[in-house]
Structure 1
């Protein structure tokens, strides 16, 4: 009998569209803003019109084919998506620049990559390869040559660097300076100038970003979801959250929609908690989904230490008492690792098209949207 229900947020309560928009804009900025690579070919602005946002996303994610591929391989973090998409273009740029600056490009690929290195590569690109053409669709074809899944996708960038640039490196990983740069730049876009400092500990590098946090799109009408959550509480279920969003990006929109109050505060686990655990236990990283850490933490409660959470024996003995509700393969894999039940919602990026995938993976339940959860309890 189910006693605890742990929900994902994106693709369950809130649309992922603005997250994907911010991801595409982050890649766009890293490529075209002179604070970073500053490649010619597109005029960068920190305050793009909606028409520009739509164009950038179509271009950077190749009509969402890149997004579909990344999510199909078990990646659920927008930070990882940005890192993958940008790093791939960076490798292809280095491939073009290596004949002009062989030793220098090799040194950059083998050492930590931060703003200074991107500035240098951008300068060489403008000098030696002014007509360099970004090929965003090539991402899927290159990664499809391998069978790597989940966090291995990030490490596979090292193999692509060797293939395209003949350089042995281990710099492409979630613990790299480049990954942190991608993560912080994404936060600038999503939170905007007014909120970013509280998230990453500094003001935005590029002022002028409004942010998307107050422009969230609920998947189901908030009053309807609020009633569903209230009924679940009345029936005695303990409700929690396990999300790839940082804390501020979880609390603010859910509070504004009147939903946050229905969850046990000790069971609202976010990417901020995941990053904290990765910092304390780097040897355990990555802990983002599909790693079950955030859901195990939600099951045990925030009062449990990260050490206790990481040591908790899996699969759990009382798996039938826990239900995870999510929209992605990463959520399903996390539930499987825990040994609990899983309900898939068909409100993620792929929509109804995801049904066959969840049927193939034998999800316990498949819901058109989260409001149907009462029908399976």
Structure 2
């Protein structure tokens, strides 16, 4: 039946926990560090203890309610999550500043927001009484029915509702998104490795990174046994992940899992980002868009034009299986017209079963090792 099996990584092979920690720390830094907005109310440090990390994670994502909401709406990439969470708090701050400095705020909200603009916001906010309201995120976004990367664009509507200012600066193709993405990479990779990812040293030095703290979903030896069996049975194994390449290759290699995947079918967020830069008119291409799975299905050596022109749904959908833990993975698989197996090892664990049953996922697995029971 199946010829090709494409795996997501986070929530399927590796735990998402450290990714969510890094996402929360990125938002925390950009709000409280003197190098960014630098508002009062918390003390920023680039090498927080585990106790501080746990507190920041709980606060920034409102005890994971924010994470659960955006993932249910189809957002899978941590870069998008950081952008949404930080930009929303920035909008709330600018809404407060708009009461007394309307023209300055209008200028900021109608131009690209980069480091210089952040510095202007910091200066305007000095002495202003503003309290971050992380929990308000879900309440404001629940007013809409938008999904996927349309959530990023919906920030423009929130600006209009709160300030009356018409703008279109919030989107996947924005300088602020790039800034959020690079700052996240600093946290996840740390000072030692980040330059290989973003082409520059850490803007805020002192971060040790989380790459060495990866947590496997299942004991690596057990996952290796399953992957080896799949490969022995003749299945072509690939990866479609929202992780950048270094964060995909290194931990899977260290755990002895990389060898089971066809290198020509390993597609990462780095590859997606490179394609978006070559074809900006095609962005966004990250999940829940199907690009990474289409590329994995056709192979890294196929031209992108072939990926873009492939008629969907595909004719041989029964030959391809996507294994993922999120609604974004499900949406991508449905766009392609292939089969989808949901693993209950993501953010909400077994609680996700009801959602995937409602979506009528083809298969629902307690974890990736149960894939052998459906073949």
TM-score w.r.t. the length of structure 2 is 0.99
1:344 is aligned to 2:342: yes
Per the alignment, residue 357 of structure 1 pairs with: 355
Q: In the aligned structure 1, how far is the partner of 2:313 from the partner of 2:332?
A: 11
Per the alignment, residue 41 of structure 2 pairs with: 41
Structure 1 residue 124 displacement after superposition: 1.6
Q: In the aligned structure 2, how far is the partner of 1:279 from the partner of 1:230?
A: 36
Instruction: Tell me how large the CA RMSD over aligned residues is.
Output: 0.6
* Count of aligned positions: 375
* 1:272-294 Cα deviation digits (max 9, x unpaired): 11111111111111000010000
Q: Secondary structure at the match of 1:58?
A: helix
1:144 is aligned to 2:142: yes
Structure 1 residue 313 displacement after superposition: 1.5
Per the alignment, residue 51 of structure 2 pairs with: 51
Per the alignment, residue 116 of structure 1 pairs with: 116
Listed as ranges, the gaps of 5+ residues in structure 2 are none
Structure 1 residue 231 displacement after superposition: 0.5
* 1:94-117 Cα deviation digits (max 9, x unpaired): 010012211111000000101111
Conserved? CA contact 1:91–1:165, under 8 Å? no
Per the alignment, residue 32 of structure 1 pairs with: 32
Structure 1 residue 233 displacement after superposition: 0.5
Q: In the aligned structure 2, how far is the partner of 1:280 from the partner of 1:306?
A: 10
1:126 is aligned to 2:126: yes
1:277 is aligned to 2:272: no
Matching of residues 207-286 of structure 1 within 5 Å = 207-286=205-284
Q: In the aligned structure 1, how far is the partner of 2:284 from the partner of 2:347?
A: 23
Structure 1 residue 308 displacement after superposition: 1.5
1:77 is aligned to 2:89: no
Q: In the aligned structure 1, how far is the partner of 2:125 from the partner of 2:250?
A: 41
1:325 is aligned to 2:348: no
Match of 1:162 among 160, 163, 167: 160
Q: Secondary structure at the match of 2:203?
A: coil
- Runs ≥4 residues deviating over 3 A: none
Q: Secondary structure at the match of 1:323?
A: strand
Matching of residues 83-122 of structure 1 within 5 Å = 83-122=83-122
Q: Secondary structure at the match of 1:192?
A: helix
* 1:276-327 Cα deviation digits (max 9, x unpaired): 1111111111000010000000000000011211111111111000000000
Q: In the aligned structure 1, how far is the partner of 2:214 from the partner of 2:308?
A: 32
Listed as ranges, the gaps of 5+ residues in structure 1 are none
Q: Secondary structure at the match of 2:352?
A: helix
* 1:159-187 Cα deviation digits (max 9, x unpaired): 00111111111000011000000000000
TM-score w.r.t. the length of structure 1 is 0.99
